[in-house]
């Protein structure tokens, strides 16, 4: 809502006529303090709303960062290599010999 200079002058003349020039400074002071209180209340409400809405957003952002870090560290090939390609040098167990190379292997027993 924009007021032109002529509209503001008309409002000022109406206030002077209605209330008189003696009360004009006190009316201006009261109007100014009321506007300051309204602005302060609006700022308090804004701050409270931002505080309440910021907490869940920041928690979600932290969780997203945790998932990103976990995804960076995850290597699916590591699990595949561990399950299907065991490396005998990494474990303390000796590799099992093949049945053809094992002299103590008796093979299947028929009855």
How would you write 4-34 as a 3-class SS string?
CHHHHHHHHHHHHHHHCCCCHHHHHHHHHHH
pLDDT tens-digit map of 41-68: 999 999 888 887 767 777 888 889 999 8
The answer to whether the predicted template modeling score (pTM) of the entire model surpasses 0.75 is no
* DSSP-H helix ranges across the chain: 5-19, 24-73, 76-84
Angle at 52 between CA 51 and CA 53, to 5 degrees: 95
Q: Say which residue the tokens 């200079």 belong to.
A: 5
pLDDT tens-digit map of 2-44: 889 999 899 889 988 998 888 888 988 999 999 999 999 999 9
Q: Using CA atoms, how far apart are residues 106 and 103, in angstroms rounded to an integer? A: 8
Mean pLDDT across the stretch 66-72? 87
The band of 1, judged by pLDDT with boundaries at 50, 70 and 90, is: low
Residue 87: partners with Cβ closer than 8 Å, 6 or more residues away: 81
Q: Using CA atoms, how far apart are residues 103 and 71, in angstroms rounded to an integer? A: 48
Token pair listed for 50: 């931002």
pLDDT tens-digit map of 73-106: 877 777 676 666 655 555 556 667 777 777 776 7
């Amino acid at each position: 809502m924009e007021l032109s200079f002529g509209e503001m002058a008309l409002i000022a003349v109406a206030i002077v006529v209605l209330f008189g020039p003696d009360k004009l400074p006190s009316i201006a002071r009261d109007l100014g303090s009321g506007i300051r209180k309204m602005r302060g209340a609006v700022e308090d409400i804004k701050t409270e709303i931002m505080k309440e809405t910021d907490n869940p957003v920041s928690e979600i952002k932290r969780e997203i960062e945790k998932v990103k870090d976990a995804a960076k560290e995850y290597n699916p090939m590591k699990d595949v290599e561990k399950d299907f390609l065991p490396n005998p040098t990494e474990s303390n167990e000796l590799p099992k010999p093949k049945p053809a190379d094992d002299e103590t292997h008796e093979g299947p027993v028929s009855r």
